[in-house]
Structure 1
Amino acid sequence: MQLKALALNCTLKPGRGAQSSTDAMIAVLAEAFSQYDVTVSETVRVAALDIKPGVTSNEGDGDAWPGLREKILAHDILLFGGPIWMGQISSVAKRVLERMDAFLSETDDEGRMPSHGKVVVAAIVGNEDGAHFSSAQLFQALNDVGWTIPAV
């Protein structure tokens, strides 16, 4: 069975032409995943989408989250990439986490969130200016909404 991964690039740069350090990190991980027959089908530049603020799965007219949510849940693995700014994960990454909060109330008949059985891998870009803190923030939030986080 071939596993599919979706990469989220939570850089602050909205333009697709503007390369970011997160793009470079995602490329390294995509290459590593390919050695295990995991295909990274797409990298989504989240800042290029109109993800409305909120904590539901649809915040109304023009909200791009429902489409992105559908893509995320259609994959086995989420590669969650983003930079560190001012010692913490980017505001774009935080917006994605806020929207995943809806998973808490979207359980199936067995009480499982939509992320049940799916794996997330973090690709935090930055040096010692908050990498541990940012990883801890990201992993705790993703754990809270049901993702499986593999040990390193």
Structure 2
Amino acid sequence: MNALALVCSLKPSPAPSSSELMARQVLDALAGHGVAGDLVRVVDHDVRPGVETDMGSGDAWPDIRRRLLAADILVMATPTWVGHMSSVAQRVLERLDAELGETDEQGRPSMFGKVAVTAVVGNEDGAHKITADLFQALGDTGFTIPAQGGTYWNNEAMNPKDYKDLEQTPEAVASTTATLARNAAHLARSLRENPYPAP
């Protein structure tokens, strides 16, 4: 079993990123359930705008897509910007729209059988809305969402502290992340053993 985290920070590497920290915490929790993890900070790659699997010369999405197709679990991690997911996360969803027209060898949509979970960080409210938006888009694309499949942290309004600057992970976040990982690993194994029926 393996997972791919797509970190949708606006900050290119090697700048510290709260979204990447939380994504790595999710991957660490999944590792406790026998799931190997890999991570891509999307902004480090030239992912072109569009709704096709390949937008032509120089487009980095096809390589990321190959890694996604090989994964059992997708971790979508995004910061909160003015109450919404980052523009990078929106770009990923737009590129995933192409999967609605892609199928596996048995005629099932390409993302059927894959689990998706979310991780959202930010300084003000917005995590619930972003999680809901991500769940809707990922579910439409064909991913399966486990019970309590979203983890998040939002600081109080008008307080500029970042998640990466906390002295320790809040217990509520750690507990939610642990539940997410446990349920995601269980669901991914269940879907591997009992795939969705072919049309």
Supply the distance in 1 between the matched residues of 2:50 and 2:28 (Cα, whole angstroms): 34
- Deviating above 6 A after TM superposition, structure 1's stretches of 4 or more consecutive aligned residues are none
Determine the structure 2 residue equivalent to 1:48: 44
Unaligned regions of 5+ residues in structure 2, if any?
A: 149-199
Q: 1:82 aligns with which of 78, 102, 118?
A: 78
**Once the two structures are aligned, what percentage of the paired residues are identical?**
53
How far apart are residue 127 of structure 1 and its match? 5.1
Q: RCO higher in 1 or 2 (8 Å CA, sep ≥ 6)?
A: 1
Larger Rg: 2
**What count of residue pairs does the alignment treat as equivalent?**
148
Determine the structure 1 residue equivalent to 2:64: 68
Amino acid across the alignment from 1:12: L
* Secondary structure of the corresponding residue to residue 11 of structure 1: coil
1:118 maps to 2:110: no
1:92 maps to 2:88: yes
TM-score of the superposition, structure 2-length normalised? Answer: 0.71
Supply the distance in 1 between the matched residues of 2:30 and 2:60 (Cα, whole angstroms): 28
Measured on the aligned residues, the alpha-carbon RMSD in Å equals 1.3
Please state which structure has a larger fraction of its residues in helix.
Answer: 2
Deviations along 1:78-135, one digit per CA (max 9) or x if unpaired, are 1111111010100000000000000111124654211110111101112552111101
1:10 maps to 2:8: yes
* Secondary structure of the corresponding residue to residue 29 of structure 1: helix
TM-score of the superposition, structure 1-length normalised? Answer: 0.92
Unaligned regions of 5+ residues in structure 1, if any?
A: none
